[in-house]
């Protein structure tokens, strides 16, 4: 069994190789360690190997770890579906939210963000494969949502996030990620400061990097299969 340290080294090597193959600048892609369901002790191990960004899906599990790891300089990313009755603790404890797909959620995050904290970084989740059972706005709805979120205080809209359909070939993955990249470039005419494409996981990271990902969300390749 490989260790978390070995897995991180392998993952970072894979990212750097994907950057080189795509003629991307070195270190232009950030590794977000998806730590949902993993114990705080494993996050400490990852932190010791240089990881500073951790992604969580489940709020109560995340809040417990945020408290246990308060001595560490961690950037916490909420990447799961977000219900309106859970926005306050996210606004109060996280640095990023990747999964906003409704204006109502964005408004609540803005209203509930403590004034003592910097603006909350936010990505709009796009249902890039138009799957009926998946969260996210459709491609043609994204521009209006970005415009409206841009009017809110206490938020900094950074870009887009997507989780493509599973089981695609690498060519299909690239086509799907390419649509998200093209959408981001278009939306820069609305919000020039957009700079983030949160896309790519353990199984489709190479295609995501090739199509312009700036954050890849990697869990299994670092921590192993979840129980």
Domains in the chain (CATH in brackets) are: 4-33+82-223 (3.20.20.10)
Query: Tens of pLDDT along 95-111?
Result: 999 999 999 999 999 99
Query: Tens of pLDDT along 162-171?
Result: 999 999 999 9
Quote the pTM value: 0.96
Residues 6+ apart with CB under 8 A from 116: none
Nearest of 84, 96, 34 to residue 61 by alpha carbon: 34
Taking the C-alpha atoms of residue 122 and residue 138, their distance in angstroms, rounded to an integer, is 17
Supply φ then ψ for residue 121, to 5 degrees: -70, 135
Taking the C-alpha atoms of residue 187 and residue 180, their distance in angstroms, rounded to an integer, is 10
């Amino acid at each position: 069994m490989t260790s978390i340290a070995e897995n991180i080294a392998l993952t970072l090597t894979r990212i750097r190789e994907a950057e080189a193959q795509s003629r991307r600048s070195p270190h232009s892609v950030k590794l977000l360690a998806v730590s949902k369901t993993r114990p705080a002790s494993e996050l400490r191990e990852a932190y010791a190997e240089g990881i500073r960004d951790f992604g969580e899906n489940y709020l109560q599990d995340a809040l417990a770890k945020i408290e246990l790891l308060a001595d560490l300089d961690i950037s916490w990313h909420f990447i799961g579906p977000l219900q309106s009755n859970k926005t306050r603790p996210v606004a109060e404890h996280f640095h990023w939210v990747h999964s906003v797909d409704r204006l109502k959620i964005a408004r609540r995050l803005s209203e509930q963000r403590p004034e003592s904290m910097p603006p909350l970084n936010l990505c709009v989740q796009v249902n890039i494969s138009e799957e009926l059972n998946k969260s996210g706005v459709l491609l043609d709805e994204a521009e209006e949502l970005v415009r409206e979120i841009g009017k809110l205080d206490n938020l900094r809209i950074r870009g887009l996030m997507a989780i493509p359909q599973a089981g695609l070939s690498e060519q299909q993955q690239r086509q799907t990620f390419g649509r998200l990249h093209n959408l981001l470039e278009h939306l820069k005419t609305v919000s020039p400061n957009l700079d983030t494409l949160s896309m790519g996981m353990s199984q489709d990271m190479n295609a995501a990097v090739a199509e312009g990902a700036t954050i890849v969300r990697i869990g299994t390749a670092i921590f192993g299969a979840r129980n």
